[in-house]
Chain A
């Protein structure tokens, strides 16, 4: 899934050596951990929204919301990662497009857009919690902390998460 045709730069995500290649990420934090999503995948950044609950939905799905006439499914990334549910009043979300459907990934806070050199990219450490490893594309070493690159298609594969 790493070679999604997002942009020419992200395709070279795993090619090491070319220090000048930069990838742009929208960063966000969940439980003090920094995460990133390739900026070109992001459609919108939203503040707290009125989310309509969907009965019987998996726990990760907070519900659906109306974004300019389109129905967007809100997914709580915290629950998806096995953390306690998000605070609906304060959380922010990043809207991404996945196979023609819009999803709003609810996180604690959305930060800035960062441009990161591929030389700082590393694969997932083998000891990473499997729940995290499943949705992480890899890790960027930042100054002072680490950024986990979220693999959106995997993040939205809820059925498998439940079956696992």
Chain B
């Protein structure tokens, strides 16, 4: 039955029941305005809804009734028993219509209600008419006694939810603890219920009363209280069991075991009363999808699998809106127009599939569409437009990371704001809502094939399984849902904690796992991994990021009852709640998302730590992480770790050749492989270590013999390069090491790989430019200009400020300076720089002035400017910068 109709029937039958009562009251107190207006309101609502649903007969009848009631209310008509009779007769007629609609989903075509309507109209006009014909001419099946049984078991406006009698009975049994001993009457009732249901199936037209009798309405609040009480009982049980563990042979052990069992059953029973099939949350979706497909002229089919999967009412409520939103998104953004689908060789009708299932204590809901997938290019453009990331940042991100931006606030890729989506409230809200209930959102998207979102949520919010960990003698709970694995790190084992610029990372199965120090994040003390060497790493999944949390000890998993944090501590976002453990101690439950946010380093950042250019990192003198490897004979080789996107071991059998060049299928694309040592034969057996360099969406693999180590060293190239591919030789970890010129290898890849966009890999290196100009106008004009051109711009107002930066050790690749400035002018500034013995003295410095006469140019060059550009000549400035930096190359 249509949902709207179902809702209408439920609601109206409740109204009618109230009406009956109120009318009788009205007869007794004909002049009570409250009763009258209440009745009027009820009838008015019925009329309105009927009109909306297209039930003309009901509407007319209700309308006539409303007229009379209006007159009553306005005291234009006197309330007489005759009048009430007619109204009651109309109500009875409405009831019979309702029951017909309930069974046939449409109004009875037979007969009309003229008799009643004319009687009512006559009364409205002031004529008294007592003769009312008997029962209506509608074909009347037996009146449905319980509309509620057909209604969805959602809480209604009064906050009630129907509870299956079976569940309640089961709970009662648990409470009395007799379930196993004797079959109770309740069980038999349940059986009877089943029998009734079966019978129902056979003969749908017969409405039985027994089902309704088996259900009682319980206020949701009552259930909440029951749940809380049971939670407390569970806690107490846990405490008792904890004590029992300490005692060997206790007289309590057997009754406690029994208590344990009964409590568990009770808990389960109460949970069941709160469980509802997820189909309830989906109930409105077919209608939404249908309307959408009409509105958008698309053909969409909605498949719903696992609608019977049950989950907690509370969770269900919270998941409803996100789900609706995601289905809308799929219909609006995902599914293409029918013509486009046919062109793409797909079925004309797009499919959105909802699939819900249990997976290890969680419910997983997949929303899959076979549309066009997420448009990475559009998302990129949007990111830039919204200023969520810069071009160069994007250049260093994998496609997956770029797609993640759909979860950022204010992000929407819909071209125009349709009524459907594109209002900018979108996936970020979905993500927040899901995370609020301890769930995660994951997605995969294949361009042209479709996208698949997966929401993983806990079955219930009240009791969760958590891993108890210790840090600085304090214990914390980590929700088990997020825990992927536990790793024990020690200096001697293969898993050891290493530091990249004091950021700890863990080598785990050939990947670097970023680590978060709980100690530091919670300000418990300073992390000193080197000293204790041994650390336990809890590997957690947090959103799409995987990272490790460093803790001192790991205890076991416990079922905990989540209690909200007291209001005065709610401003601390690091905790999602607190709980009492079995031993009676109070511990905080960590909110991993907040912990990670506090630690301030999402995996995506670390994993890529953005391929900041060799140029920038090579000569700044600071320590940096270097990846040491062996390739060919001779010295070990190194490459800045920041350039390496990933380390991979590939099976040599998977290496394919295209025009003689080796390549491998990598993440759904072909990745060219370049041997670190030219002309080296590639064997066809075993596995090949590959350093993956990423540029935008393209990858290149550098084949090496063996990955040795990651070290942190100040990189000083001692011997300049004698052969291509090497920047020079440096002493790293006490050994002479060839420092690899990544750019050389990247350029070996044919132009089609890296030159497609008209910008080479080299061009993507972020050059840092210092802009000195006293005019805010020009600073505001040039900063974005240079930023868009791919430079990292620092703008200062005066030459003094710029010199201060020099003292502070800031590093730049070029300086753009105004000439006329208050205080120190541009000529003096450049002279000061050139005179110095700092890194800045050799930098290319560009003068920029509105005076651009040949004499000025000459004077500028003499003062030490590399070039002299007229203000407003943006092209000239950009060209000059580009030319100079290109010539200067890596060594600036």
Q: Which residues of A contact B (CB under 8 A)?
A: 50, 52-58, 61, 63-66, 69, 71, 73, 75, 99, 101, 103, 156, 158-159
In the assembled complex, which residues on chain B have CB atoms less than 8 Å from the CB atom of A69? 232, 235-236, 580
In the assembled complex, which residues on chain B have CB atoms less than 8 Å from the CB atom of A52? 474-475, 585-588
Q: How far is the CA of A54 from the CA of B588 in the complex (A)?
A: 7
User: Which of B217-225, B352-360, B564-572, B727-735 sits within the interface?
Assistant: B564-572
In the assembled complex, which residues on chain B have CB atoms less than 8 Å from the CB atom of A57? 569, 572
What 1/0 mask marks residues of chain B from 569 to 588 whose CB sits below 8 Å from any chain A CB?
10110110011100011111
Q: How far is the CA of A66 from the CA of B236 in the complex (A)?
A: 12
Residue on B nearest A159 in the bound complex, by CB: B571
**Given the contacts A52-B474, A64-B586, A73 and B568 also touching, CB distance less than 8 Å:** yes
- Establish whether residues A53 and B474, one from each chain, have CB atoms under 8 Å apart when the complex forms: yes
In the assembled complex, which residues on chain A have CB atoms less than 8 Å from the CB atom of B235? 69
Residue among B475, B523, B567, B571 with most chain A CB within 10 A? B567
Q: How far is the CA of A55 from the CA of B573 in the complex (A)?
A: 11
Q: How far is the CA of A80 from the CA of B575 in the complex (A)?
A: 23
In the assembled complex, which residues on chain B have CB atoms less than 8 Å from the CB atom of A64? 566, 578, 586
In the assembled complex, which residues on chain A have CB atoms less than 8 Å from the CB atom of B571? 159
In the assembled complex, which residues on chain B have CB atoms less than 8 Å from the CB atom of A101? 566-567
Q: Which of A56, A65, A156 contacts B568 (CB 8 A)?
A: A156
In the assembled complex, which residues on chain B have CB atoms less than 8 Å from the CB atom of A61? 568-569
Residue on B nearest A100 in the bound complex, by CB: B567
- Establish whether residues A56 and B580, one from each chain, have CB atoms under 8 Å apart when the complex forms: no
- Establish whether residues A56 and B572, one from each chain, have CB atoms under 8 Å apart when the complex forms: yes
Within 8 A of A (CB), among B577-606: 578-580, 584-588
Task: Specify the main secondary structure of chain B where it touches its partner.
Answer: mixed
Q: How far is the CA of A52 from the CA of B586 in the complex (A)?
A: 6
What 1/0 mask marks residues of chain B from 831 to 852 whose CB sits below 8 Å from any chain A CB?
0000000000000000000000
Residue B524, interface by CB 8 Å: yes
- Establish whether residues B574 and A55, one from each chain, have CB atoms under 8 Å apart when the complex forms: yes
Residue B4, interface by CB 8 Å: no
Residue B652, interface by CB 8 Å: no
Residue among B523, B566, B585 with most chain A CB within 10 A? B566
- Establish whether residues B567 and A71, one from each chain, have CB atoms under 8 Å apart when the complex forms: no
Residue on A nearest B566 in the bound complex, by CB: A73
Residue B563, interface by CB 8 Å: yes
**Given the contacts A65-B586, A66-B580, A56 and B566 also touching, CB distance less than 8 Å:** no
- Establish whether residues B524 and A71, one from each chain, have CB atoms under 8 Å apart when the complex forms: no
Residue on A nearest B590 in the bound complex, by CB: A55
- Establish whether residues B523 and A71, one from each chain, have CB atoms under 8 Å apart when the complex forms: no
Pick 28 A–B contacts, CB within 8 A, sort by A: A50-B585, A52-B586, A54-B575, A55-B523, A55-B524, A55-B588, A56-B522, A56-B523, A56-B572, A56-B574, A57-B572, A63-B586, A64-B566, A65-B586, A66-B580, A66-B584, A66-B585, A69-B232, A69-B236, A71-B563, A71-B566, A71-B578, A71-B579, A71-B580, A101-B567, A103-B568, A159-B568, A159-B571
Q: How far is the CA of A99 from the CA of B584 in the complex (A)?
A: 24
Q: How far is the CA of A116 from the CA of B451 in the complex (A)?
A: 73
In the assembled complex, which residues on chain B have CB atoms less than 8 Å from the CB atom of A103? 566, 568
Q: How far is the CA of A47 from the CA of B506 in the complex (A)?
A: 46
In the assembled complex, which residues on chain A have CB atoms less than 8 Å from the CB atom of B522? 55-56
In the assembled complex, which residues on chain B have CB atoms less than 8 Å from the CB atom of A55? 474, 522-524, 574, 588
**How far apart are B631's CB and chain A's nearest CB, in angstroms?**
47
B interface, size bucket:
20 to 34
Within 8 A of A (CB), among B217-275: 232, 235-236
In the assembled complex, which residues on chain B have CB atoms less than 8 Å from the CB atom of A158? 568
**How far apart are A30's CB and chain B's nearest CB, in angstroms?**
19
Residue on A nearest B563 in the bound complex, by CB: A71
**How far apart are A43's CB and chain B's nearest CB, in angstroms?**
15
Residue on A nearest B588 in the bound complex, by CB: A54
What 1/0 mask marks residues of chain B from 524 to 547 whose CB sits below 8 Å from any chain A CB?
100000000000000000000000
**How far apart are B526's CB and chain A's nearest CB, in angstroms?**
14
Residue among B236, B475, B572 with most chain A CB within 10 A? B572
**How far apart are A22's CB and chain B's nearest CB, in angstroms?**
32
In the assembled complex, which residues on chain A have CB atoms less than 8 Å from the CB atom of B586? 52, 63-66, 71
Q: How far is the CA of A56 from the CA of B474 in the complex (A)?
A: 13
**How far apart are A99's CB and chain B's nearest CB, in angstroms?**
7
Q: How far is the CA of A43 from the CA of B140 in the complex (A)?
A: 63
Residue among A55, A56, A69, A159 with most chain B CB within 10 A? A55
**How far apart are A2's CB and chain B's nearest CB, in angstroms?**
22
Q: How far is the CA of A107 from the CA of B572 in the complex (A)?
A: 25
In the assembled complex, which residues on chain A have CB atoms less than 8 Å from the CB atom of B568? 58, 61, 73, 75, 103, 156, 158-159
**How far apart are B587's CB and chain A's nearest CB, in angstroms?**
6
In the assembled complex, which residues on chain B have CB atoms less than 8 Å from the CB atom of A73? 566, 568-569
Q: A56-B523, A61-B568, A69-B235 are in contact. List 20 more A-B contacts (CB 8 A).
A: A52-B585, A53-B474, A54-B572, A55-B522, A55-B523, A56-B574, A57-B572, A63-B586, A66-B585, A66-B586, A69-B232, A69-B236, A71-B563, A71-B578, A71-B579, A71-B580, A73-B568, A75-B568, A101-B566, A159-B568
Q: How far is the CA of A52 from the CA of B566 in the complex (A)?
A: 14
Q: How far is the CA of A76 from the CA of B372 in the complex (A)?
A: 59
Residue on A nearest B581 in the bound complex, by CB: A66
In the assembled complex, which residues on chain A have CB atoms less than 8 Å from the CB atom of B587? 52
Residue on A nearest B587 in the bound complex, by CB: A52
Residue on B nearest A65 in the bound complex, by CB: B586
**How far apart are B234's CB and chain A's nearest CB, in angstroms?**
11
Residue on B nearest A60 in the bound complex, by CB: B568
Q: Which of A56, A58, A63, A99 contacts B567 (CB 8 A)?
A: A99
**How far apart are B595's CB and chain A's nearest CB, in angstroms?**
11
Q: How far is the CA of A75 from the CA of B569 in the complex (A)?
A: 11
Q: How far is the CA of A56 from the CA of B598 in the complex (A)?
A: 12
Q: How far is the CA of A54 from the CA of B574 in the complex (A)?
A: 10
Q: Which of A50, A54, A66, A99 contacts B569 (CB 8 A)?
A: A54
**How far apart are A119's CB and chain B's nearest CB, in angstroms?**
35
Q: How far is the CA of A66 from the CA of B475 in the complex (A)?
A: 15
Residue on A nearest B471 in the bound complex, by CB: A55
**How far apart are A106's CB and chain B's nearest CB, in angstroms?**
14
The 4 closest A-B CB pairs, nearest first, are A55-B522, A73-B566, A64-B586, A52-B586
Q: How far is the CA of A159 from the CA of B569 in the complex (A)?
A: 9
**How far apart are B737's CB and chain A's nearest CB, in angstroms?**
43
Residue on A nearest B235 in the bound complex, by CB: A69
Residue on B nearest A73 in the bound complex, by CB: B566
What 1/0 mask marks residues of chain B from 667 to 709 whose CB sits below 8 Å from any chain A CB?
0000000000000000000000000000000000000000000
Q: How far is the CA of A77 from the CA of B156 in the complex (A)?
A: 46
Q: How far is the CA of A122 from the CA of B588 in the complex (A)?
A: 42
Q: How far is the CA of A69 from the CA of B579 in the complex (A)?
A: 10
In the assembled complex, which residues on chain B have CB atoms less than 8 Å from the CB atom of A54? 569, 572, 575, 588
**How far apart are B718's CB and chain A's nearest CB, in angstroms?**
47
**How far apart are B254's CB and chain A's nearest CB, in angstroms?**
24
Q: How far is the CA of A69 from the CA of B561 in the complex (A)?
A: 11
Q: How far is the CA of A35 from the CA of B569 in the complex (A)?
A: 25
**How far apart are B635's CB and chain A's nearest CB, in angstroms?**
48
What 1/0 mask marks residues of chain B from 148 to 159 whose CB sits below 8 Å from any chain A CB?
000000000000
Residue on A nearest B585 in the bound complex, by CB: A52
Q: How far is the CA of A66 from the CA of B580 in the complex (A)?
A: 7
